């Protein structure tokens, strides 16, 4: 795997990429992150990811120490150092900002300078079978964080809640975990947003269901509007999920993946649906049009 890491502006290979054990990202999980992918070598929706990164930072009172322009410069430098973007291979980019190195205390004043880490490695698509045949997901017992604890709107480095939910799903042989909120409503997947299709309308939980507002989710609303597919937010219960005509998940690295089964419940016909396929095709076309017009 050709991977490169940029730590506070320094390029390092995976063997030498280290960060202090006194960094509060390690000690307490105090930090934020974004995952970006490239299409045709261009970071996709980079500005939107930076907007969300800064919003996450504001919610934990963590200011980014460098500009978006500088972060983008480091990203492109790291992509080039990894040998990606010019050989037809797209890149997976993970941008992390932590509270920084300091004494063992919760006081943020102990950390004078945040750490900025960029990890770049080859992007790997979901298996072709996931798109052709759909996947099984599991409705897990781990609840999504209550917004009054660690708000899911914060894309936090502290991912124990997501990890526990995803691990439960993996033990069941599932592709993803579907997580409920404290009210028992469908919130999101452990690493993705979730959508159902019912009577020709695409429906996804609202932000107050306790979920991360995905960048792909946001972009898909625009795509759906362009091609005339009705899409809206609505509180979803288990019965809505089990009774859906179609179902799919969205994420930066996997675009749209059809869901054909939730545990023992078959969704619709048990095969990827027409509206899901239409949205995926339109998403991919618009994504490449967008990067083709980029000046970056």
| 4-122 and 128-291 agree in CATH topology | no
CATH class of 4-122: alpha beta
User: What's the pLDDT band for 181 if we cut at 50, 70, 90?
Assistant: very high
Kindly report, residue by residue over 123-132, the tens digit of the pLDDT. Answer: 999 999 999 9
Q: What average pLDDT does this structure show over 20-27?
A: 97
In sequence order, what are the beta bridge partners of 251? 255
> Closest Cα to residue 139, out of 240, 235, 279, 17?
240
By annotation, the residues acting in catalysis are 155
Distance CA 119, CA 93 (A): 6
Q: Does domain 128-291 have CATH number 3.30.70.260?
A: no
Q: Where are the domains of the chain?
A: 4-122, 128-291
Per-residue model confidence as pLDDT tens digits over 229-259: 999 999 999 999 999 999 999 999 999 999 9
- Judge contact between 37 and 112, C-beta under 8 A: no
- Give yes or no for a contact between 38 and 82, defined as CB atoms under 8 angstroms apart: no
């Amino acid at each position: 795997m050709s991977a490169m890491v940029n730590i506070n502006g320094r390029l390092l290979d995976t063997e030498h990429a280290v960060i202090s054990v006194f960094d509060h990202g390690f000690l307490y999980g105090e930090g934020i992150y974004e995952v970006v992918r490239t299409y045709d070598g261009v970071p996709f929706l980079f500005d939107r990811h930076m907007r969300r990164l800064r919003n996450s930072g504001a919610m934990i009172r963590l200011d980014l120490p460098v500009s978006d322009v500088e972060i983008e410069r480091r990203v492109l430098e790291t992509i080039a150092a990894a040998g990606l973007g010019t050989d037809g291979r797209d890149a997976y980019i993970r941008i992390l900002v932590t509270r920084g190195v300091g004494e063992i205390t919760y006081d943020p004043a102990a950390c004078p300078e945040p750490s900025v880490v960029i990890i770049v490695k080859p992007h790997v698509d979901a298996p072709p079978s996931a798109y052709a045949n759909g996947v099984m997901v599991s409705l897990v017992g781990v609840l999504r964080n209550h917004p009054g604890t660690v708000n899911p709107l914060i894309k936090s480095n502290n991912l124990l809640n997501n990890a526990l939910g995803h691990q439960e799903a993996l033990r069941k042989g599932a592709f993803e975990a579907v997580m409920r909120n404290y009210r028992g409503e469908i919130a999101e997947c452990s690493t993705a947003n979730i959508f159902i299709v019912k009577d020709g309308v695409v429906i996804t939980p609202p932000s107050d269901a306790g979920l991360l507002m995905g960048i792909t989710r946001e972009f898909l609303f625009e795509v759906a509007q362009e091609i005339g597919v009705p899409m809206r937010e609505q509180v979803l219960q288990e019965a809505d999920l089990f009774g859906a005509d179609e179902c799919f998940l969205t994420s930066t690295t996997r675009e749209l993946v059809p869901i054909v089964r939730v545990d023992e419940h078959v969704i619709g016909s048990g095969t990827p649906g027409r509206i899901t396929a239409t949205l995926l095709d339109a998403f991919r076309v618009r994504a490449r049009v967008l990067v083709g017009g980029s000046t970056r």
